[in-house]
Structure 1
């Protein structure tokens, strides 16, 4: 009996040792694989220059400029579109027109999360190429059916917005493949494209809408949007995708989630707070771009109707100018050695949002005080 028990114990001990040896060997294999993947990533360094890198920079500048130039100057289009719909007898024209712009902005940012997943699967260039085609198709349909606000909800609001998201998100990601040392300046230059196009289109749109109407303006937008298709062809990745770390005995659900979400980011409390705070801060960011021109015209800024419209549209250009200067200055500042470390770039962004909030509160307070003084 004792011999049988001893034999069983020896067999169990042997199995336990084999399991431990297997786990140790597998753990070393996984660790070695991770180190090899990291070594591969370290071998490829962004060139920080070169003809193709500068082509990517120009392409991203154009993508950001065209997409946000169109979005930021929607307030100018809104005035004319609302006027035409009111003449056609459409009820609640202001609400319906503003919904078109809201759908565009909402689609562009709301779908960015899904676009990131799609680009990981099919690549940055192909994702951006599809986005450029969809955005151009949406804007083209808008120019054909500009008289129907219901069609504009789908064509301008959903199709153009979704396409813009698919080409805009890769345009930011691809910059990290070609630039590292001066990435802050590069981001500043690229995002300044939106300011440049906003300034130009704030005057161009006003002229075209006044002399040729809504359809001609939308046709111009279609031609501009088609440029993003060509720009997306330069988005050739040079860095390998980040390696997915698989832990032993993880559930099927976790494996599925890990294929679409980079989980380590969500273990970082700072990242989680930042990811939740940014969408909240952006709720009111685009409101002036939609309603500022109409609001200014109703003040009015000039007794002459033509001059009143031009002055109201110029306010959008003013936002573009100051925004562009800020992007360039803070892009350069974010590359400073003291700003790069310890998450100071995030603090810089937080200061900017606080400043925006304070200015908006001051505007509302000043407007209320002015109204009260006029009543008295």
Structure 2
């Protein structure tokens, strides 16, 4: 096709905005209406998809339910499991028991790059559904464990694989449908973690007291199948991607469909159906912003699980009841739920980089200062609430930072690659804390544990500061180029 395809100019709106990225020019009239693809010899006009809509919010809902369960048995309620596993396996050390949850969390993140590639290659829905099935099977198998290493294989490795396959499509999908409200959409999606923790922490504690820990695992397996399996049906990627500056790239299939709609011949274009080659995805390592985010994940993840795993046991250590410890953990998860939504919403109006930066420093303060001085229920509750709120905001805003810095194309694999660094941190964080706790026996001291968590989160905040500077510099360079 040598001539441009033409349509009558839109009359519904008077205001027209044009966004240009490379050879792609996007023209919108108020609500997005047309997109023009230019090349040295070819040009086409295709409709530009509207942001949001009912389908988009269903994607957010599905992501919410997957988030509500995908991390619960290995992170947000594992502190409750850990307390009871110490009674079931009295000869096991604190670090060896903590390694069960750490293994699950680490595998979730370490397998993220491959899970992201699978999702980008075969589709988000089928990948998330397979992940839900694997998580369900892993919890059923864990309920028959008679030795600690059985839990490493089931609640640890197998659950982590399933969680990874379900999580990365769920975290990437909302950004495919939103740009202006990306912070809110992502915040609502990942707030499922806080909501799940708020509900599952007291539920797990109550079930263990009533039916024992193994039947609790089976009940949680049934919940996983219903919640995550059903929610995976809503996790569908979009055929359209937003680049970092807001322009749009369409897949060949979408262009050909619209080409036929306007009565033209098939359009040959360089924009082929997107697959994610392994080495192509690795090119993101050349960007210093990606390295800064990855180092932030590596450092912060060392300390992130420590409060979640030891908040309840520390509460008992300072002579609070186990019920009070479970309440603090549950309310911390509730604060995480609120932080993910509110801070995500604020980031849409202020600046994602500024809010993310504040969250990283506030989380470090909550652990390094507040936890250090907590000796009573009110101070411990304050620490749990502040940690949950700002850590929740941090978790929800990192995927937004990825989308803003690198676009939504191949987003699942990009996030997976970055979170793999976080997996390395998680693999060592909680077991290291358990080891430090063991070496203080018989005069148990949590000081080394708190310092480890706080200092590593402080290093993570410094890396986020570096990313914010580099991202601001890149944005200015992009504006000057245009």
How far 1:235 sits from its partner (Å)?
1.8
Task: State the distance in 1 between where 2:62 and 2:287 align.
Answer: 33
Q: Which residue of 1 aligns with 2:329?
A: 316
- 5 Å-filtered alignment, 1:241-256, equals none
The equivalent position to 1:66 in structure 2, one of 40, 54, 69, is 69
Q: Please identify the structure whose Cα radius of gyration is greater.
A: 1
- 5 Å-filtered alignment, 1:118-133, equals 118-133=118-133
Q: Which residue of 2 aligns with 1:231?
A: 231
Q: Which residue of 1 aligns with 2:348?
A: 335
Q: Do 2:175 and 2:186's aligned partners in 1 also have CA atoms closer than 8 Å?
A: no
Q: Deviations over 1:220-268 (max 9, x none)?
A: 2201221312211222222247799xxxxxxxxxxx9954443563343
| In the alignment, structure 1 residue 191 sits paired with structure 2 residue 194 | no
How far 1:292 sits from its partner (Å)?
1.6
Residue aligned with 2:348, SS: coil
- Judged with a 3 Å threshold, the aligned counterparts in structure 2 of structure 1 residues 365 and 260 are, in CA distance, closer, same or farther, namely same
The equivalent position to 1:83 in structure 2, one of 87, 104, 107, is 87
RMSD: 3.0
Task: State the distance in 2 between where 1:41 and 1:75 align.
Answer: 55
Q: Do 1:100 and 1:156's aligned partners in 2 also have CA atoms closer than 8 Å?
A: yes
Q: Which residue of 2 aligns with 1:290?
A: 309
Q: Do 2:66 and 2:228's aligned partners in 1 also have CA atoms closer than 8 Å?
A: yes
Q: Do 1:44 and 1:239's aligned partners in 2 also have CA atoms closer than 8 Å?
A: no
Q: Do 1:125 and 1:232's aligned partners in 2 also have CA atoms closer than 8 Å?
A: yes
Moved more, 264-273 or 311-320: 264-273
Q: Which residue of 2 aligns with 1:27?
A: none
Residue aligned with 1:334, SS: helix
More strand per residue: 1 or 2?
2
Task: State the distance in 2 between where 1:221 and 1:281 align.
Answer: 29
Q: Which runs of 4+ in 1 moved over 6 A?
A: 38-42, 241-244
Q: Which residue of 2 aligns with 1:13?
A: none
Q: Which residue of 1 aligns with 2:113?
A: 113
Q: TM-score scaled by structure 2?
A: 0.59
More helix per residue: 1 or 2?
1
Gaps of 5+ in 2: 1-21, 25-36, 242-248, 252-274, 376-442, 444-482
Gaps of 5+ in 1: 1-29, 245-255, 302-307, 340-344, 372-376
Q: Which residue of 2 aligns with 1:5?
A: none
- 5 Å-filtered alignment, 1:23-102, equals 35=38, 43-45=47-49, 47-50=51-54, 52-70=55-73, 71-86=75-90, 91-102=91-102
